[in-house]
Amino acid sequence: MTKNLVVIGAGMASGRMLEHLFEAAPGAFTVTLFNAEPRGNYNRLMLSPVLSGEKTYDQIVTHDEAWYEAQGITTRFGEAVTAIDREAQIVHGARGPVPYDALVIATGSAPFIIPVPGHRLPGVVAYRDLEDTNAMIDASRPGARAVVIGGGLLGLEAAAGMAARGAEVTVIHLMGHLMERQLDPAAGYLLQKDLEKRGIRIHCKGATKVILGQDRVEAVLLEDGTVYPADLVCMAVGIRPETRLANDAGLEVARGITVDDQMRTSDPAIYALGECTEHDGQLFGLVAPLYDQAKVLAATLAGDQAAFRPVQTATKLKVTGCDLFSAGDFADAPGREDIVFRDPGRGIYKRLILEGERLIGAVMYGDTADGAWFFDKIRTGADVTADRDTLIFGPAFAGGAPSDPLAAVAALPPEAEICGCNGVCKGQITRAIEGGATTLDAVRGLTKASASCGTCTGLVEQVMALTLGDGFAANANPPMCKCTDHTHEDVRRLIKSMGLKSIPAVMQELGWTTVGGCASCRPALNYYLLADWPLEYRDDRQSRFVNERNHANIQKDGTYSVVPRMWGGVTTPDELRAIADAADRYNVPMVKVTGGQRIDLLGVRKEDLPAIWSDLNDAGMVSGHAYAKGLRTVKTCVGQQFCRFGTQDSTGLGIRLEKLLWGSWTPAKVKLGVSGCPRNCAEATCKDIGIVCVDSGFQISVAGAAGMDVRETVLLLTVATEDEVCEVTAAFVQLYRENARYLHRIYKWVDKVGLDWCREQVSDPATRAALHDRFMLSQSVFQTDPWADHAARPAEWSPIADLSLRAAE
Amino acid sequence: MSMIDIAALADIPREGARVVRTPQGCVAIFRTATDQVFALDDRCPHKGGPLSEGIVHGTQVTCPLHNWVFDMATGQAQGADEGRVATHAVQVRDGRILLDAARLTSRAA
């Protein structure tokens, strides 16, 4: 006797299950198939090619009317199931009940909709079924504007599809890089670059605040204030298992419908399958494990033994022209090692993750041809120790002789191109070396090899090593840190010449050998980027040393010191009262006058920082940046207003300079002094920049120091007016900001580049004005009081949780 | 194991840390660029520096006081420095951070 099998949901998993079932147990079941969509099963994975116009709906149908009829399946498409009566074993549909002996719930998943205001407006769609796809196709006329919320797999396929139809597409993604669940930041960066090349605008770290519109969607407003006009909004931020029916029927549901290894729910007559299930705490979204489930369930229903064991899955993005592959586990974790391969010129990035002798994960971008080969290694857990040296080169290299990079260069013919930018071949370099060029600079000077983008520097050095043998001494200027072979100077030059505008971009394009840099290179890169791209780059707080991240100086016991700015060392009774009140209120253990003419409150607890800043802000004071690689203080003497020897208003000039320069980030700290006469009471001649007022005007001298090295300043220029002092000082600081390496004080940098060169730059009126303008542009962004910004969010400065009370309970 | 819900993962910045106060001293909860989460005592074995204020790179953190580098998974000091920081079991579930606080909240510990 045949049994009644009812299946709710005609998706890919249930379709596959029915195929297996009819094969294993033909005629054993009379099947009724419900589907909420008014159609049968189609290949949902192929909706993206339908959206982009590369396929039609008819081409992606997997089971047509004829198939259902041939199998004797009663189809109830477009009909919602309203309830499951487990007692009576009856499924209630909108058009009548059906009894069952066995029931399969395969309701799939529902798109997650962010409940922001406006999410119900017409024109806001998800991306799950043919209706959504058709809505997007209709809206994607050339010139139409579409916003996709969510930069994951689905969102990007939606974006690419609409862009291919001519729409102007913007993707808003909450995270720092695209597809963060499948890709690491470097691969995410390459993907973003490729998508931007095809005109898709990408906005990472963007949180949607409101979807705007009267009768239908008109625009999307983000938390940061950005507004993107939109004729259509596609929300693709994720999916959740569709469990409402199972919930109502009282089945056991966690995040998904709980199933055992046989796909059985908590009711032995009811099974579940697909994206709506949860097995052993795990949810499923990719098709491979769902097909495995289908096979297991068909066997179970046919009375055979089978057990579901989830397997590894791999992800590929179905966007034509974006080659991307990720498989296995690629998160950083203990005992794991990375093998990284980057070919910046071709936009190729490959990363393998090893644990012990096994390959456990792979991320690839640009060239994914070997994906299947790596995936197989991950799945089988094969021992890869013996192949480790050449593993990243894939199957083509497997078993071959280990390669020696020097041997590879040696094998190049003389006409092989080494420097692509300048078209320099190996033979030209060899001839230059044989002609007497024994240093990299000399070779660069003679041949131009590695003189443009510089990425071939390593190759040029290898040619030199081969030609000179033991006579070759590698570049005396050491690399920036252990993460790279490039020097600080090379990195600064390449950031500008290659237009690199983020830390992941620098690490990718310049071939960083570590995943996230180190405590030495990250602050340097952050500085270089914000100095070179003041308008485009956003400061990365996590790449800053603690003092700059917390805008206070950490002390040996973990407390902080707080120094408000005191312009030119001048204060008022009100400011002093406010400082005294703050010291009392926050139990400041020590109040000290600093060498830079201001007052230091020492021993403040981290969680009190926002409150003490807020109090000082209220009294009109801002951060003194006593912690910054930036402008610290401008020390002054009293000047002509009170002093019988004073020749100029040194106090007023000091205040003016401090108001001009404060807030600017520099490679290392910058201190100024302004003395009103050559008696030099402000000790201006041992500062980074010192101004000495004389009867005829102002002597601007630079490159002093009074730290581990003690140096007297040297005269840069003498000028006649305060205005000129300000313009020259700003221009000189900008010259330093643009050219010095991180952590080099002005005196070290001037030693390297020469005072004459600096003088030439700031003496030439056009160059000086341009430097001054670039400085002011940067100040338009960075001259803000960080205390005021952070005092507004005090919660972030306190412990995230307090368990000290639990013990007492 | 007694896993206690501490906070949302989103409360900690990527490549950053926040502190949990416990009767046994502060514990630093770190979040990496790829959303791995680690919990270590917030005290460098060298001079007691707050590791939570260090720069996080990959699965390592550099102490802000004297640049000792620690593997966050094992607590082991890297390179030439010798020392170890106690680690605590921590996991992320549904976007929430769960910390094994058995050792941290017991009065006898």
Contact (Cβ atoms closer than 8 angstroms) between residue B18 and residue B29:
yes
How close does chain B come to A361, measured CA to CA in Å? 14
**For the purposes of burial, counting CB atoms within 10 Å of the CB of A572, is it exposed (0-12), middle (13-18) or buried (19 or more)?**
exposed
Contact (Cβ atoms closer than 8 angstroms) between residue B8 and residue B25:
no
Give the per-residue pLDDT at A701: 97
What is the rounded distance in angstroms from the CA atom of residue A52 to the CA atom of residue A73? 33
Residue B105 lies in a domain: no
How close does chain B come to A409, measured CA to CA in Å? 32
Q: Identify the residue with better confidence: A244 or A424.
A: A244
Which among A255, A516, A800 has CB closest to B57?
A516
Pairing relationship of beta strands A358-365 and A324-328 according to DSSP bridges: antiparallel
Which among B14, B50, B69 has CB closest to A542?
B14
What percent of chain A shows pLDDT beyond 90?
55
Q: Identify the residue with better confidence: A121 or A329.
A: A121
Contact (Cβ atoms closer than 8 angstroms) between residue A34 and residue A27:
no
Best mutation target among B53, B72, B100 (most A Cβ atoms within 10 Å) is B53
Write out chain B residues lying below 8 Å of A800, CB-based: 6-7, 11-12, 18-20, 29
Q: Which CATH superfamily is A3-108+242-302 part of?
A: FAD/NAD(P)-binding domain (3.50.50.60)
Q: What is the pLDDT of residues A705-746, one digit of tens each?
A: 998 889 999 999 999 999 999 999 999 999 999 999 999 999
What is the rounded distance in angstroms from the CA atom of residue A518 to the CA atom of residue B55? 8
Specify the amino acid at residue A406.
L
Count the Cβ atoms, other than its own, within 10 Å of residue A357. Answer: 12
Q: What is the pLDDT of residues A132-183, one digit of tens each?
A: 999 899 888 888 999 999 998 889 989 988 988 889 999 999 998 998 877 8
Options 3.50.50.60, 3.40.1710.10, 1.10.730.10, 3.90.1640.30; CATH for A111-240 is: 3.50.50.60
**For the purposes of burial, counting CB atoms within 10 Å of the CB of A25, is it exposed (0-12), middle (13-18) or buried (19 or more)?**
middle
Beta strands in A663-790 (DSSP E): 670-675, 689-694, 697-702, 705-706, 710-711, 714-719
A456 is in an annotated binding site: no
Give the per-residue pLDDT at B107: 52
Three-state SS for A129-181 is CHHHHHHHHHHCCCCCEEEEECCCHHHHHHHHHHHHCCCEEEEECCCCCCCCC
Residue B108 lies in a domain: no
Give the per-residue pLDDT at A168: 92
The B60-62 sheet, strands edge to edge: B55-57, B60-62, B69-71
pLDDT band, residue A610 (cuts 50/70/90): very high
Q: Residue A747: pLDDT above 80?
A: yes
Q: What is the pLDDT of residues B21-55, one digit of tens each?
A: 998 899 999 999 999 999 999 999 999 999 999 99
Check CB contact under 8 Å for A799 and B18. yes
Give the per-residue pLDDT at B108: 45
Q: Residue A254: pLDDT above 60?
A: yes
Check CB contact under 8 Å for B33 and A255. no
**The tokens of A747 are what?**
């005196």
What is the rounded distance in angstroms from the CA atom of residue A430 to the CA atom of residue A426? 6
**Residue B27: CB partners within 8 Å, gap ≥ 6?**
B19, B20, B39, B40, B41, B42, B88, B99, B104
What is the arithmetic mean of pLDDT over A283-300? 87
Q: Residue A531: pLDDT above 90?
A: yes
Which chain B residue lies closest to A179 (C-alpha atoms)? B34
Best mutation target among B37, B55, B69 (most A Cβ atoms within 10 Å) is B55
A681 is in an annotated binding site: yes
Q: Is A384 helix (H, G, I), strand (E, B) or coil?
A: coil
Check CB contact under 8 Å for B20 and A802. yes
Which among B7, B64, B106 has CB closest to A800?
B7
Contact (Cβ atoms closer than 8 angstroms) between residue A669 and residue A630:
yes
Which chain A residue lies closest to B32 (C-alpha atoms)? A332
Please count the structural domains in chain B. Answer: 1
pLDDT band, residue A808 (cuts 50/70/90): very low
Name the most confidently modeled range: A35-39, A284-288, A391-395, A717-721: A717-721
Which among B20, B64, B73 has CB closest to A803?
B20
Angle between helices A755-763 and A722-739 (to 10 degrees): 130
pLDDT band, residue A654 (cuts 50/70/90): very high
Please state the φ and ψ torsions of residue A199, each to the nearest 5 degrees. 85, 5
Check CB contact under 8 Å for B26 and A546. no
Give the per-residue pLDDT at A713: 96
What is the rounded distance in angstroms from the CA atom of residue A419 to the CA atom of residue A429? 10
Which among A334, A557, A803 has CB closest to B22?
A803
Q: What is the pLDDT of residues A579-595, one digit of tens each?
A: 999 999 999 999 999 99
Which among B6, B33, B107 has CB closest to A801?
B6
Contact (Cβ atoms closer than 8 angstroms) between residue A765 and residue A756:
no
Tally A–B CB contacts below 8 A.
Answer: 119
How close does chain A come to B82, measured CA to CA in Å? 18
Q: Residue A424: pLDDT above 80?
A: no
**Residue given tokens 């709506």 in the structure block:** A276
Domain ranges, ordered by start, for chain A = 3-108+242-302, 111-240, 479-544, 547-619, 631-783
Check CB contact under 8 Å for A517 and B49. no
Check CB contact under 8 Å for B107 and A807. yes
Write out chain A residues lying below 8 Å of B58, CB-based: 332, 514-516
Residue B41 lies in a domain: yes
Q: ipTM score of the complex?
A: 0.92
Check CB contact under 8 Å for A516 and B15. yes
Give the per-residue pLDDT at A452: 57
Write out chain B residues lying below 8 Å of A556, CB-based: 47, 65
What is the rounded distance in angstroms from the CA atom of residue A375 to the CA atom of residue A364? 11
Contact (Cβ atoms closer than 8 angstroms) between residue A359 and residue A378:
yes
Beta strands in A497-594 (DSSP E): 553-554, 560-562, 590-593
Write out chain B residues lying below 8 Å of A188, CB-based: none
Check CB contact under 8 Å for A330 and B12. no
Topology classification of domain A631-783: Sulfite Reductase Hemoprotein; domain 1 (3.30.413)
Kindly report the CA angle at A309 between A306 and A315, in degrees rounded to 5? 130
Q: What stretch of H or E contains A612?
A: helix A609-618
Q: Which residues in A538-570 are b (16+ Cβ under 10 Å) and which e?
A: eebebbbbbbbbbbbbbeeebbbbbbbbbbbbe
Contact (Cβ atoms closer than 8 angstroms) between residue A232 and residue A136:
yes
Give the per-residue pLDDT at A395: 72
Q: What is the pLDDT of residues A361-374, one digit of tens each?
A: 888 888 877 777 78
Identify the DSSP state of A453: S
pLDDT band, residue A403 (cuts 50/70/90): very low
How close does chain A come to B12, measured CA to CA in Å? 9
Check CB contact under 8 Å for A804 and B23. yes
Contact (Cβ atoms closer than 8 angstroms) between residue B53 and residue B9:
no
Parent domain of B61 = 3-100
Write out chain A residues lying below 8 Å of B89, CB-based: none
Write out chain B residues lying below 8 Å of A802, CB-based: 20-21
Report chain A residues touching chain B, CB-CB < 8 A: 176, 180, 184-185, 255, 330-335, 514-519, 522-523, 541-546, 549-550, 554, 556-558, 799-804, 806-807
**Residue A535: CB partners within 8 Å, gap ≥ 6?**
A777, A781
Kindly report the CA angle at A285 between A281 and A289, in degrees rounded to 5? 75
Q: Give the CA distances from residue B81 to residues A517, B48, B86, in Å, rounded to whole numbers and listed in that order.
A: 20, 14, 16
Which of these, B52, B51, B58, lies nearest to B32 by C-alpha position?
Answer: B58
CATH code for position B93 = 2.102.10.10
Compute the half-sphere exposure of residue A411: CA atoms within 13 Å on the CB side of its CA.
6
Write out chain A residues lying below 8 Å of B16, CB-based: 541-542
Q: Give the CA distances from residue A47 to residues A53, A123, A320, A324, in Å, rounded to whole numbers and listed in that order.
A: 10, 19, 14, 19
Which of these, A134, A165, A168, A129, lies nearest to A148 by C-alpha position?
Answer: A168
Check CB contact under 8 Å for A803 and B94. no
Pairing relationship of beta strands A219-222 and A90-93 according to DSSP bridges: unpaired
Which among A335, A517, A806 has CB closest to B105?
A806
Best mutation target among B20, B34, B70, B107 (most A Cβ atoms within 10 Å) is B34
Q: What is the DSSP string of A109-120?
A: EEE-----TTTT
Q: Which CATH superfamily is A547-619 part of?
A: Sulfite Reductase Hemoprotein;Domain 2 (3.90.480.10)
Give the per-residue pLDDT at A806: 62
Which among A516, A545, A558 has CB closest to B58?
A516
Compute the half-sphere exposure of residue B61: CA atoms within 13 Å on the CB side of its CA.
36
Specify the amino acid at residue A111.
P
Check CB contact under 8 Å for B56 and A331. no
- Check residue A499 and give left, alpha or beta (phi > 0: left; psi -120 to 50: alpha): left
Going A191 to A197 to A203 to A205, the CA torsion angle's sign is positive
How close does chain B come to A634, measured CA to CA in Å? 28
Contact (Cβ atoms closer than 8 angstroms) between residue A220 and residue A233:
yes
Which chain A residue lies closest to B18 (C-alpha atoms)? A800
Specify the amino acid at residue A203.
H
Which among B21, B33, B67 has CB closest to A803?
B21
Write out chain A residues lying below 8 Å of B99, CB-based: 801
Write out chain A residues lying below 8 Å of B65, CB-based: 554, 556
Which chain B residue lies closest to A240 (C-alpha atoms)? B94
A50-64, A786-800, B72-86: the lowest-pLDDT one: A50-64
Q: What stretch of H or E contains A599?
A: strand A599-604
Check CB contact under 8 Å for B13 and A334. no
**Residue A312: CB partners within 8 Å, gap ≥ 6?**
A327, A328, A375, A378, A379
pLDDT band, residue A312 (cuts 50/70/90): low
Check CB contact under 8 Å for B65 and A517. no
